[in-house]
């Protein structure tokens, strides 16, 4: 029962965010990278910095979300998670992606893009600490 509730929590909270991130990653690859390159060589429009920030933030967020899904997977399998260098890099990149998201989209970015993964992260870190005490 506990695994079912945790799985439902993750799918309800992170499912839509993961879907949106997949979509925006495709946009970043198709549009963001070429526009950023054109801006760097001086042939882009005035929104080049915003596009570059959005593209970087997107890729930072993808890395952080993939590592978060690894933490979730380990916790659901009741395995202890190794907080490696990769996890620390993901925390830093997730923070950078969050700051970029809030800078570009304000309160909406904070409410819909930053808070849900932070709540899930803190919850699963807590569950990992409980799991580590029981081992």
Query: Where along the chain do its domains lie?
Result: 2-134
For the four alpha carbons of 121, 14, 67 and 76, in that order, the dihedral sign comes to positive
Whose CA is closest to 67, among 47, 97, 107? 97
Q: Each residue's pLDDT tens digit in the chain (135 positions)?
A: 588 888 888 888 888 888 888 888 888 788 777 776 676 666 655 566 777 888 889 999 999 999 999 999 999 998 899 899 999 999 999 999 999 989 988 998 899 889 999 999 999 999 999 988 876
Task: Let me know the angle formed at the C-alpha of 89 by 103 and 50, rounded to the nearest 5 degrees.
Answer: 25
pLDDT of residue 21: 85
Say if residues 76 and 3 touch (Cβ distance below 8 Å). Answer: yes
What's this model's pTM, rounded to 2 decimal places?
0.84
Q: Specify the pLDDT at position 118.
A: 93
């Amino acid at each position: 029962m506990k695994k079912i509730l945790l799985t439902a929590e993750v799918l309800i909270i992170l499912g839509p965010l993961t879907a949106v991130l997949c979509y925006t990653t495709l946009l970043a690859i198709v549009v963001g990278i070429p526009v950023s390159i054109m801006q760097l060589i001086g042939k882009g429009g005035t929104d080049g910095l915003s596009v570059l920030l959005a593209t970087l933030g997107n890729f930072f967020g993808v890395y952080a979300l993939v590592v978060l899904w690894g933490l979730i997977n380990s916790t659901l399998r009741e395995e202890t998670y190794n907080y490696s260098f990769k996890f620390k890099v993901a925390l830093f990149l997730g923070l950078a992606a969050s700051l970029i998201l809030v800078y570009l989209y304000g309160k909406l970015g904070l409410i819909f893009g930053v808070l849900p993964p932070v709540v899930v992260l803190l919850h699963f870190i807590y569950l990992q600490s409980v799991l580590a005490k029981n081992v």
